[in-house]
Structures are given as structure tokens and as C-alpha cells.
């Protein structure tokens, strides 16, 4: 069977790619499908923090999954306005209304996929890529359910992407190990749920961790819980590797959690580095398959935003007949996605390399961009400082 594009993976990156295709080129979207190896609702290890950038992308797509999650009421999203960053005894706090909405990824991704299906997406669940090979102008895609000929293949198949492995030249990936467990919130030890705040503890950098420990509130609708996690980005791969498990056990004990490490979950966070290859003729990568940022590992917003660049690239390929995707990496790098990853990479190298106070790094990444009215007020007050006579009433 022939399709214009096959998108592999029904996570935020894959679904966003299709939704953007549908927004800008509905006919192309009609002849494109998403193949997903799982059946929704499927699980995905994640802190579930959906930031304002992600909600902006969804709003522009007119996809209201967060509201419908709330209205459904069986899968509430928790709104968090306070972020607390710790580094030893130093603490920095940021406040912005609804900075994050914490969701169960299982429900968020399901709602996103349903929104796309309601707009006409042909979603093939329980179908996975088995083999891929190139013919003269197209690709032959073999799955457990059939064979397809396509002009464009989008790898949105996550951190351990098969599309990347099969279609890109071999490159060692930057995979940050993580551990996460969810425990009931204990008000004697955990203030995050009641205060609706997120804690990012960067103190273990002092022991060589190139990452942090997080404590974020979450809920399954019945139990108030906290997701506790740890990540080591290894942006300085040659430096000694700390014992991540030991650090995490110690941090959990401080909160009276003594669960067997065998009950923890683990999944790598893949980060992008500027020499990574993101395209080949007829093939592009999005989301985790391409790579996210190595300072804090936020990826839902980036994956949603990758989808827009991918869709524009696919549309241009069909318009010009050029399916080389030679400029795809350049498009990513000059888009807000690439610029954000590049800024976070610089910050990660500095703070995990001992050249920057991690609290300054966190502030640079998370402090809300001032809006234009705030900037105007600041400019005006600076002008009045320099020209005090202008503020006096001329009358």
C-alpha cells in the first residue's frame, strides 16, 4: 500500500507531526498514517510535567487535551506554579501561575492520539516496524502487519528509535540514565503535593552527578503521590561516574522511602548534540528519536515543537519534489527547538562542569521570559532614572 508519509511512534512527537501536517496540508495528512507498536492507553516513564511552551503549541493546534483531561475528572492534571531549586544550603524559588501541569503520560498521550484520530488520523496501533529498505525513490517499510511504500518516513519512535538505528549512519547516542519511582505523598516528609510545588535538588552535583534529583506531585485521581527521580546527563562523559543508585537510595531514605531498587523504573533520556545526524533522504527524526536537551531533560514541549518543523519540511519536500531533507538539521537548529537545546547544552556544560552556580543555570532555563509590557516598564523606569526631570510634571 502507498502512503505519502508514515510516522513511526504515537507519542507527542509523532502525533504532533501529524497534527501539524493536518493543520497546514490536510490532503497530505489524509495520505499519511501513524504506526504505534503499543495499544493506547500505553505507559511511558516520565515525570509528566507539561510546561507552558507545550500548552502554547497545543493551543495553536486548537487541541484542548489538558482541559478535557480535567473535565473528564478521572485523569486530573495538577497545576503547579512554584519551582524550588536546591544546591546545598542555597535555595532559589520561581513562581509563575500554572508553570507546569502534571499529567499521567498514559492519559495525556492517549488524549492527544484521540484528538488526532478525531481529525481523521489513520492510527495503526499494535503495529511495529520490522524492516526498512530504500528503493530508487521511495522506502519500503515492513511491519508485523504489512508492507508499505512511502516517500517520507518520520522516526518518532522514542529514545531507542528503530528508525534511527536502521536508517541513520551509526553514531554513539547520548543517553542519560534515570531512575524514577512513585510513592504516596507523606505530609511529614513531602511538602510538594500540598504546596503544589516541584523540587529540583542539584546538590548531588557536588558528588559528581551531572544531573539532579526531582520530587514532583502527581495523582492517579485517588492517591496523592510524589514522583521521585534522578538523572545523570554525562555531558562530561570522561569525568568519574558517581554511584547514582547510592545517591538515590540516600535521598529516598531522607523521605522515609525504603522501596527495593528492583521496584524502580528506568528509561534513558536521549539528548541532542550538534553533530547528530537527524535526516537522510526520505527520512527525518523527531522528539526523543532526534534528542532533547541535557540540562533538565524536559522533552514533551520539545517533542511537540519538533512536530511543527518536521511537518513544514515534509510539506516543502512534496512542494519541491526534493526529498533529500538536506536542510532538516539546519531547520531544527534555527527553530526555537534547536535554539533552546543549544542554550540548555551551554548551561549544562557550565553547571555540570563546575563553571556556573547550578541555581543560576536553573534560573536561566526556567525564569519566565519577560513579556513586552514588562520590558517596556523596565525600559521606562531605566530612562526615568537617567532623565529624572522627565518624570516631573511640566505644568
Hunting for cell 563553571 — which residue is that?
A: 355
Q: Which is nearer to ligand FAD, 36 or 308 (CB)?
A: 36
Q: For the CB of residue 158, give the shortest distance to ligand FAD in the complex, in Å.
A: 3
Strand locations in 244-325 (E): 269-271, 279-280, 283-285
Q: For the CB of residue 7, give the shortest distance to ligand FAD in the complex, in Å.
A: 9
Q: Which is nearer to ligand FAD, 137 or 259 (CB)?
A: 259
Q: For the CB of residue 281, give the shortest distance to ligand FAD in the complex, in Å.
A: 20
Question: Alpha helices of 25-93 — where are they, by DSSP H?
Answer: 26-30, 52-60, 65-72
Residue 51: enclosing H or E segment and its boundaries?
strand 49-51
- The 114-133 site mask, x for binding ligand FAD (CB under 6 A), equals --------------xx----
Q: Which is nearer to ligand FAD, 213 or 300 (CB)?
A: 300
Rg (C-alpha) for the chain, rounded Å, is 22
Q: For the CB of residue 392, give the shortest distance to ligand FAD in the complex, in Å.
A: 50
Strand locations in 254-378 (E): 269-271, 279-280, 283-285
Residues 49-78 that bind ligand FAD (CB under 6 A): 49
| Residue 192 backbone zone (phi > 0: left; psi -120 to 50: alpha; other: beta) | alpha
DSSP type of residue 204: G
Q: Which is nearer to ligand FAD, 142 or 339 (CB)?
A: 142
Q: Any contact of residue 8 with ligand FAD (CB under 6 A)?
A: yes
The long-range contacts involving 384-390, CB below 8 angstroms and separated by at least 24 positions, are none
| Beta pairing partners, 35 | 8, 124
- The 176-195 site mask, x for binding ligand FAD (CB under 6 A), equals --x-x---------------
Say how many C-beta atoms besides its own lie within 10 A of residue 371's C-beta: 8
**3-class DSSP assignment, residue 43:** coil
Q: Any contact of residue 299 with ligand FAD (CB under 6 A)?
A: yes
First to last CA, the chain: 80
Q: Any contact of residue 45 with ligand FAD (CB under 6 A)?
A: yes
In the list 211, 217, 294, 298, the residue contacting ligand FAD (rule: CB under 6 A) is 298
Q: For the CB of residue 340, give the shortest distance to ligand FAD in the complex, in Å.
A: 12
d(CA 346, CA 343): 5
Residues 219-238 that bind ligand FAD (CB under 6 A): 229
Which range touches ligand FAD (CB under 6 A), out of 12-20, 75-83, 114-122, 353-361?
A: 12-20
Binding site for ligand FAD (CB under 6 A): 8-14, 35-38, 42, 44-49, 128-129, 156-158, 162, 178, 180, 229, 267, 269, 287-289, 292, 297-301, 303
Amino acid at each position: 500500500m502507498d502512503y505519502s508519509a508514515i510516522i513511526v511512534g504515537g507519542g507527542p512527537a509523532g502525533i504532533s507531526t501529524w497534527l501539524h501536517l493536518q493543520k497546514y496540508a490536510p490532503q497530505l495528512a489524509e495520505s499519511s498514517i501513524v504506526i504505534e507498536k503499543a495499544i493506547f492507553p500505553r505507559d511511558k516513564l516520565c515525570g509528566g510535567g507539561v510546561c507552558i511552551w507545550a500548552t502554547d503549541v497545543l493551543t495553536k493546534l486548537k487541541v484542548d487535551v489538558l482541559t478535557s483531561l480535567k473535565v473528564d475528572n478521572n485523569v486530573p492534571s495538577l497545576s503547579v506554579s512554584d519551582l524550588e531549586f536546591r544546591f546545598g544550603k542555597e535555595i532559589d524559588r520561581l513562581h509563575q501561575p500554572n508553570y507546569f501541569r502534571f499529567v499521567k503520560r498514559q492519559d495525556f498521550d492517549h488524549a492527544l492520539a484521540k484528538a488526532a484520530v478525531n481529525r481523521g488520523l489513520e492510527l495503526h496501533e499494535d503495529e511495529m516496524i520490522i524492516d526498512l529498505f530504500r528503493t530508487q525513490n521511495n522506502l519500503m517499510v515492513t511491519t508485523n502487519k504489512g508492507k508499505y511504500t512511502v516517500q517520507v518516513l518520520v522516526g518518532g519512535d522514542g529514545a531507542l528509535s528503530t528508525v534511527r538505528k536502521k536508517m541513520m549512519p551509526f553514531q554513539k547516542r547520548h543517553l542519560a540514565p534515570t531512575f524514577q519511582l512513585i510513592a504516596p505523598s507523606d505530609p511529614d516528609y513531602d511538602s510538594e503535593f500540598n504546596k503544589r510545588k516541584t523540587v529540583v535538588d542539584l546538590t548531588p552535583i557536588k558528588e559528581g552527578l551531572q544531573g539532579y534529583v526531582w520530587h514532583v506531585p502527581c495523582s492517579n485521581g485517588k492517591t496523592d503521590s510524589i514522583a521521585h527521580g534522578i538523572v545523570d546527563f554525562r555531558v562530561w562523559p570522561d569525568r568519574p561516574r558517581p554511584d547514582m543508585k547510592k545517591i538515590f537510595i540516600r535521598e529516598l531514605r531522607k523521605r522515609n522511602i525504603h522501596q527495593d531498587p528492583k521496584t524502580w523504573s528506568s528509561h534513558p533520556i536521549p539528548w541532542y548534540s550538534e553533530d547528530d545526524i537527524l535526516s537522510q533522504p526520505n527520512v527525518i527524526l523527531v522528539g526523543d528519536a532526534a534528542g532533547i536537551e541535557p540540562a533538565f531533560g524536559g522533552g514533551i514541549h520539545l517533542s511537540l515543537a519538533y512536530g511543527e518543523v518536521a511537518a513544514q519540511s515534509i510539506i516543502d519536500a512534496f512542494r519541491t519534489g526534493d526529498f533529500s531533507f538536506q536542510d532538516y538539521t539546519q531547520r531544527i537548529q534555527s527553530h526555537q527547538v534547536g535554539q533552546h537545546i543549544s542554550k540548555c547544552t551551554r548551561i549544562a556544560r557550565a553547571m555540570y562542569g563546575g563553571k556556573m552556580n547550578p541555581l543560576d543555570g536553573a534560573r536561566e532555563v526556567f525564569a519566565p521570559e519577560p513579556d513586552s509590557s514588562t520590558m517596556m516598564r523596565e525600559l521606562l523606569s531605566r530612562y526615568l532614572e537617567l532623565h529624572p526631570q522627565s518624570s516631573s510634571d511640566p505644568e
